Amino acid sequence: MVRFRAQIFAGVASALVCGCAGAPVDTLPNLVSDTPPPPETAPVTEGLQTSNYPLSAEELKYDCRKLTGTMQIRILQVRGYDSRKKASMAARGMQSLATPIFGGTKEGLDPDAQYRKDLAMLQAYNQQLAAKKCKTFDLDAELSTTATDVTPAPRDKPKVN
């Protein structure tokens, strides 16, 4: 009798786990629209040089105000990045195993890749600001500041290449 109940319990538990693994996972919305990751072929260069982040057709249509606002949000998100304060490999491993079973977001599984993607996006947006003859950001100065209560502001006139 006990063996029969254990087999039923194991069957029900495995059916639930398989059902959860096959369920679609809804990710939480990001403050800034998720964009395709940059290709990993060429390194991202600093300043207003060429970035390897591909701007979408929608992003190319952004005006100065939209680009500036998007960059301000992303700079505030990136400012707090510290590679020594990220989640441990054990925690990220447990999250990667639990996400397909129980659902949830995959955000934070590779914080270094997300940081590189954010930097590439900021550089591409800064180039777009310069191309549109808008004020640009000094990304090195803005990202070296750790204060999250200071809103980043464009200061530089666009540099002519």
> Which residue shows structure tokens 């200071």?
150
**pTM (predicted TM-score):** 0.59
CB environment 3-13: b (16+ within 10 A), e (fewer): eeeeeeeeeee
Give the C-alpha separation, 137 to 124, whole Å: 12
What would the mean pLDDT of 90-106 be, rounded to a whole number? Answer: 70
pLDDT, residue 9, reads 83
pLDDT, residue 58, reads 92
* Arithmetic mean of pLDDT over the chain: 74
What tens digit of pLDDT does each residue of 27-72 get?
544 555 444 444 444 444 444 345 688 989 999 999 999 999 999 9
126 by Cβ neighbours in 10 Å (0-12 / 13-18 / 19+) ranks as buried
